[in-house]
Structure 1
Amino acid sequence: MQVKPEQLSQQLKSGLKPVYMVSGEEPLLQLEAVDEIRAAARAQGYDERQVLRVERGFDWQTLQEEGNALSLFATKRIIELKLPNGKPGTEGSKKLVQYLEAPPEDTVLIIEAGKIDKKTLGSAKWCKAIDKLGVITQVWPIKPQQTLTFMRQRANKLKLNIDYDALEILSSRLEGNPLAAKQELDKLAILHGNNTISVGMILDEVKDSARYDVFDLSKAMLSGQAKKTASIVGHLKAEGNLPITMIWPLSRDVRVLEGLIPLIGQQQRVDAYLKGKRIFAQQQADYVSAAKRLNTKSINDLTLMLKKIDDASKGVFGSEPAWLLIEQLAMHIAHPPK
């Protein structure tokens, strides 16, 4: 059966299945889903754990041998199969189907796989075998618009008493980066415990930080502070930030500006649009300021720059240096060319 990540806990309470497969492209959520399955198994006495990593030259017979092996230390075992690319190949597919035709007793197989497309899930024999006998859970990257909901759920789980507006500011800084969101909320839980976390406390934390972040870059370029924008880009690069971490926030700013530009001069529509995009009140003036400096051609240019930054961050041959492109994009917003 296929189970959504948020339904996994309930399924585990109803009883362990012989096989679980967690696939997708979001490492944090995938890791946590696997941890949850492993914890449920251990709670039921599955104390021994064997890890198999599918790499070049992997012998698929090892899976069957591990399944048939007698445990020296425990009667219940977990076998974890790491399948990074989500493709077991012809031999692996046969061995998985063979294993699942007669799964060993008192053994839970957990498959941690990369992205598997819908067609493969529905037609591949090994996927159908897992679906019939066990549970398939797919986890996907958090979309920018889902970040606030993701962080609210996390905050509730941590019993964090944080104002909605304060959480909104944090989510705007951490869009599309669940690991950073988790780390930030964990830090707040340690620092503030059960105390209420207000907007002022979050803003003070940002202001007092000795290091720049992409939130500072966004504010500087949107408000038209060209000199400060260039300085922040330099600091971000010097501090060892990866160019790929800049893409989501910069893309979000460009998308917001693209929709805002045609509305300039229509205050009610501007207010409604920015509210709909969850732009915090203290940020709205910066977006309006940037929208007044830019036009449709600017957005087309910025979109092309984002594509170049994405290529450069992935090491596409012939790309310009990623940080040079980031600086060009930020400066284009802060001080558009005439």
Structure 2
Amino acid sequence: MMRVYPDQLLKNLSPLKQCYLIFGDDPWLCETSRSQIYQQAKSQGFEEKIQLSQESGFNWNELVDQWQAMSLFSSRRVIELTLPQAKPGAEGGTIFQSLMQMANPDVLLIITGPKLAAEQTKSKWFKTLDSQGIYVPCMTPEGSQFQRWLDNRIQHFALNLTRDAKDMLFSLYEGNLLAADQSLQLLQLLSPNEQIDSPELSRYFEDQSRFSVFQLTDAMLNNSQDKAQHMLSQLKGEGVAMPIILWGIFKELAILLQLKSALEIREPLQPLWGKLRIWDKRKPFYLAALNRLSLLQIETLLASASDIELKLKQQGIEDWTGVSHLSLLFDPKAHAALSHIQLNDRG
């Protein structure tokens, strides 16, 4: 298997392969890997970009047509295909096989999707594509791997941080590359040349008086609606990117779903706290939400969050009204009154 981790991808983009497989659950790594490939492709005349997604009713012949079509602009083209479930099925597998036998130097195929299980990387469709390309697994680094990533980004922004400041960043941001990268960019703007220690870093975070996404999701879990709505408008006013907010909400809902599913089959929560890395001080937030919300309500919340994300990815619409509505649904009373409402496409 030609597996290349995101931090090594740049070194492996020359010459370009026929196909790149970007699968994983880390939005920052997925996005960074995509843009590195696009940049390299652009420098080699791949000007046109076609985006396809295997939603229900997707016609695989569309991919074949795009593969064989002459470019409108006589430039080379990038086809990006999203597999939301990472399951192309028998038909998709057959199509991949025939495309890989029709090498086309003027087409570059990028396939994106969620994290792959080990058995999926042994499947026929995956091996077919992998034989002509590179697999980029984008899993959020943890522990020493996250430390290495953080050190590299600190170096990238040419920041001078003391050991204790690095430790503080590590404990604040492990598991959230998007937010970590945003903070480092801000630090570069505020203190490009001075050395930064942890008291300085604490002051910087306080001065920003920014409500973090973590505080927002805690307020949602706790059903502190006034607080959550106030924080949302604050985050919007500060220009915090919608993907970061959605990342935080999805993370908490995925945890809630796991905990609630365990409760439904009378499994003890104790082993899950450690596995999901939930500290004692945050347990009350989850317990409050678990006592309030049913499994169906948590699933409804996830479905609503997915709709907002889809609107953002496919139409570029930042639906702040939708996120505000989503926050209200953390209250079961609101579910009865609001969950049937379909939000229209307002930005």
TM more than 0.5: yes
State the one-letter code of the partner of 1:239. M
Q: Contact 1:19–1:110 (CA<8 Å) still a contact in 2?
A: yes
Residue 178 (structure 2) aligns with: 179
Aligned positions of 1:1-338 closer than 5 A: 1-13=2-14, 15-122=15-122, 124-143=123-142, 146-213=145-212, 235=227, 238-240=230-232, 305=287, 308=290, 315-316=297-298
* Displacement of 1:134: 0.9
Q: 1:52 is paired with a residue of what secondary structure?
A: strand
Tell me, in whole angstroms, the C-alpha distance in 1 between the residues paired with 2:300 and 2:74.
Answer: 55
Distance of 1:304 and 1:235 partners within structure 2 = 17
| Distance in 1 of aligned mates of 2:19 and 2:214 | 43
Are the structure 2 counterparts of residues 39 and 159 from structure 1 closer, same or farther at C-alpha, using a change threshold of 3 Å? same
Q: Deviations over 1:279-316 (max 9, x none)?
A: xxxxxxxxxxx9xxxxxxxx9x869839939x879943
1:6-44 per-position Cα deviation (integer Å, ceiling 9, x unaligned): 22111113x110111100111111111111111111112
Which 5+ residue runs of structure 2 have no aligned equivalent? 217-221, 233-244, 256-272, 302-328, 333-347
Offset, 1:170: 2.1
- Structure 2 distance, partners of 1:41, 1:314, is 44
Q: Distance between the aligned counterparts of 2:214 and 2:69, measured in 1? A: 54
Measured after TM superposition, the shift of residue 147 of structure 1 is: 3.8
Q: How many angstroms apart in 1 are the aligned matches of 2:176 and 2:148? A: 13
CA distance in 1, matches of 2:195, 2:71: 51
What is the CA–CA distance in structure 1 between the aligned matches of 2:299 and 2:126, rounded to whole Å?
36
Distance 1:191 1:30 in 2: 28
Cα offsets for 1:210-257 (capped at 9, x unmatched): 34548899xxxxxxxxxxxx9x99746641376666799xx68x9697
Task: Encode CA deviations 1:157-203: one digit per residue, 9 max, x unaligned.
Answer: 12222222112212222232111111111111122223322323212
Percent of counterpart pairs with the same letter?
28
**What 5-or-longer segments of structure 1 have no aligned partner?**
218-229, 259-289, 291-298, 325-338
Where 1:47 maps in the other structure, the secondary structure is strand
SS at structure 2 position matched to 1:127? helix
Gap change, CA 1:17 and 1:245, over 3 Å in 2:
closer
Q: Could you say if the C-alpha distance between residues 107 and 213 of structure 1 is closer, same or farther in structure 2, counting changes exceeding 3 Å?
A: closer
* Worse overlay, 4-13 or 204-213: 204-213
SS in 2 for 1:135: strand
* Helix, strand or coil at the partner of 2:135: strand
By how many angstroms is 1:90 displaced? 2.1
Q: What CA deviation, in whole Å up to 9, does each residue of 1:310-335 have, x standing for no partner?
A: x879943699x8699xxxxxxxxxxx
Cα deviation, residue 112, structure 1 = 1.2
Distance 2:151 2:135 in 1: 26
Larger radius of gyration: 1
SS at match of 2:20: strand
After superposition, the Cα gap between the structure-2 partners of 1:183 and 1:315, relative to the gap in structure 1 and judged at 3 Å, is farther
